[in-house]
Structure 1
Amino acid sequence: MAPSFDITSHTVCVMDASGQLGFSLVQRLLQRGYTVHASIQKYGEEDLFNGVSADSDKLKIFRSDPFDYHSIIDALKGCSGLFYSFEPPLDQPNYDEYMADVEVRAAHNVLEACAQTETIDKVVFTSSATAVVWREDRKTIEPDLDEIHWSDVNFCRKFKLWHGMSKTLSEKTAFALAMDRGVNMVSINAGLLMTHDLSIKHPYLRGAAEMYEDGVFVTVDLGFLVDTHICVYEDVSSYGRYLCFNHIINTQDDAVQLAHKLAPTASSSLPQSGDHGKSFIEQKISNKKLNKLMVDFEA
């Protein structure tokens, strides 16, 4: 981290702050001394933040709809940074073939608003490893898959991998707009976030068995993902994309354990103990770029 980085002079926006990642980011940023604009979508979510900050001047709550450009502008006012993660709207909670249009439109609005906010220095955009791993040639790529690779949208569409398609298109849209408008944007391609309420219905898990077979089924703990976001924001040398994970599901024991956690009585869509006659699958994905950046980060 650059020695000149003064946290106390930074006001940052977290959008959407009501998701598990967003809420944890708000907490950690406040602990580090930031002033935070917590942007939420739904009425009643303000209550989540009761008691989170002892200093009322350090935390401001905004209701911002990613499809309402002016509400985004309001939340960004006076901020030097934005942490953006997409939360599906209430009326369309499930990923399907139309979700990409929704997510792309939200990303476009947010990046356009950042371009119109003169104080914004950096955007940290939360994407997914599913925007990296889905390609026709994924089994033959040398060396390992990393952040230079993109999922093939046509491949995702063909096999109904809607999460991968949405994340790929929205991230590409955000980067294209950021480059066109001169916005400094960095993306984090996160593995499956291991939360207490994770279920078999999570859209990331479509194609889980194939990810396992290919050695690219990666997961990430919430604390590590939060630290990664803050490190990427604070380090002036960060750029482009960063694959973020701290565990890979590549043994039968790991796979069976995850399957039982997600759906104890109906885990047929995940790799099982007898699959492939192997107890270990070679890892074919790398996050060396992130590990190098995180070496000197003080959580």
Structure 2
Amino acid sequence: MAPASSHPSAKTVCVMDASGRLGSALVERLLQLGYTVHASLFNHGAAGDTVVVDAANGSALETGKRLKVFRSDPLDYHSIVDALKGCSGLFYNFEAPNYDEFIVEMEVRTAHNVLEACAQTDTMERVVFTSSITAVVWKEDRKSADGFDERDWSDPNFCRKFKLWHALAKTLSEKTAWALAMDRDVDMVSINAGLLTGPGVSASTPYLKGTPEMYEDGVLVTVDIEFLVDAHVCVYESASAFGRYLCFNHAICRPEDAVKFSQMLNPSAPCPPPGDDLRVIQQRIHNKKLNKAMLECRSGMYVEE
């Protein structure tokens, strides 16, 4: 299967799920780049009914004609197939408002349905599967590891033991997707995103569980939405893209950065006084593979070390 060209005016792609921050941002960027977009919205209960794809109300008539909105049930294979019809690419992500054992099972089943549907879509050329840093860093012996990169996986048993449901869901769903992609010959790349910060993120956001330990381990990394979107487009359009990519543009290793991060999550909390025991943490996670890929893309200007 050939990856998408860098001149996508004739290309149709699907964004699934298009209802969250990443999904809606991807829809907007892809429309700007000239793609025709199938925006597939998952219904996560009440939250799903309040979702608005901003690009659907764009003032440009041409943009409106290139956007089609679908309502898809994550567990309904046929509704997923309908959204993918005629698409040459899929940008897939799944984020629930809350995570527990039930959501873990649901996310794994959804990943299976989506990859199976991609395999049955004759026009499909590449899948960009959004996973998470939480599918990389959680395991029993993590403190003794030299560092973390695309080769590392979180341990499902460790995640279950400490009820790290978001990490478990991302680990199992990504592994399920990779197994199906290889078995069905689907050209897939994955983006293991750092912790997305910005509007709507609070201390109760599911993927933030365990951040103090991540900070102590030197693996607390975050990503801006613009950088994350650029990374997705880059690995979709790059003919040489393959495998997994860790995606972040900020590493929180200094005490002052940790304080700012904490204040962002809980603005009403008092700012902790500086202490003599605060120290700089050594960064132990790397995304050199993505930085190299983005240097080769049009959006290489956003690369940070």
Larger mean Cα displacement after TM superposition, 50-59 or 218-227? 50-59
Superimposed CA distance per residue, residues 103-134 of structure 1 (whole angstroms, 9 cap, x where no aligned partner): 10111111111011010010000000000000
State yes or no: 1:220 paired with 2:223.
yes
In 2, Cα distance between equivalents of 1:50 and 1:37 = 15
Larger mean Cα displacement after TM superposition, 210-219 or 59-68? 59-68
Q: Secondary structure at the match of 1:70?
A: helix
State yes or no: 1:51 paired with 2:51.
no
Q: 1:70–1:243: structure 2 CA closer, same or farther, 3 Å change rule?
A: same
Cross-structure match for 1:193? 196
Larger mean Cα displacement after TM superposition, 36-45 or 182-191? 36-45
Contact 2:19 2:53 in 1 (8 A): no
Match of 1:70 among 73, 78, 88: 78
State yes or no: 1:100 paired with 2:104.
yes
In 2, Cα distance between equivalents of 1:47 and 1:4 = 25
CA apart distance, 1:68 = 1.1
Contact 1:190 1:220 in 2 (8 A): yes
In 1, Cα distance between equivalents of 2:25 and 2:160 = 33
State TM-score, norm by structure 1. 0.91
Q: 1:135–1:44: structure 2 CA closer, same or farther, 3 Å change rule?
A: closer
Contact 1:13 1:39 in 2 (8 A): yes
- Counterpart code for 1:51: G
State TM-score, norm by structure 2. 0.90
CA apart distance, 1:184 = 0.8
Contact 2:4 2:125 in 1 (8 A): no
CA apart distance, 1:18 = 1.6
In 2, Cα distance between equivalents of 1:3 and 1:16 = 20
In 2, Cα distance between equivalents of 1:132 and 1:276 = 32
Contact 2:4 2:126 in 1 (8 A): no
Cross-structure match for 1:294? 294
Match of 1:112 among 110, 113, 116: 116
State yes or no: 1:167 paired with 2:174.
no
Q: Secondary structure at the match of 2:163?
A: coil
Superimposed CA distance per residue, residues 132-179 of structure 1 (whole angstroms, 9 cap, x where no aligned partner): 00011211112x200100000111111111111110000000100111
Match of 1:81 among 89, 95, 107: 89
Cross-structure match for 1:10? 11
Cross-structure match for 1:247? 250
Q: 1:267–1:129: structure 2 CA closer, same or farther, 3 Å change rule?
A: farther
Q: Which ranges in structure 1 are unaligned for 5 or more consecutive residues?
A: none
Q: 1:265–1:77: structure 2 CA closer, same or farther, 3 Å change rule?
A: same
Equivalent pairs: percent with the same residue? Answer: 61
In 2, Cα distance between equivalents of 1:23 and 1:262 = 22
- Counterpart code for 1:169: L
In 2, Cα distance between equivalents of 1:244 and 1:220 = 7
In 1, Cα distance between equivalents of 2:287 and 2:189 = 15
Contact 1:188 1:243 in 2 (8 A): yes
Contact 1:18 1:40 in 2 (8 A): yes
Contact 1:153 1:169 in 2 (8 A): yes
Q: 1:176–1:53: structure 2 CA closer, same or farther, 3 Å change rule?
A: farther
In 2, Cα distance between equivalents of 1:3 and 1:98 = 35
CA apart distance, 1:225 = 0.1
In 1, Cα distance between equivalents of 2:216 and 2:205 = 19
Cross-structure match for 1:282? 282
CA RMSD of aligned residues (A): 2.0
- Counterpart code for 2:230: D
In 2, Cα distance between equivalents of 1:273 and 1:184 = 51
In 1, Cα distance between equivalents of 2:121 and 2:104 = 26
In 1, Cα distance between equivalents of 2:6 and 2:226 = 22
In 2, Cα distance between equivalents of 1:233 and 1:62 = 22
Q: Secondary structure at the match of 1:277?
A: coil
Q: Secondary structure at the match of 1:243?
A: strand
In 2, Cα distance between equivalents of 1:53 and 1:114 = 30
In 1, Cα distance between equivalents of 2:21 and 2:200 = 10
Match of 1:151 among 144, 154, 158: 154
Q: Which ranges in structure 2 are unaligned for 5 or more consecutive residues?
A: 43-47, 300-305
In 1, Cα distance between equivalents of 2:5 and 2:205 = 41
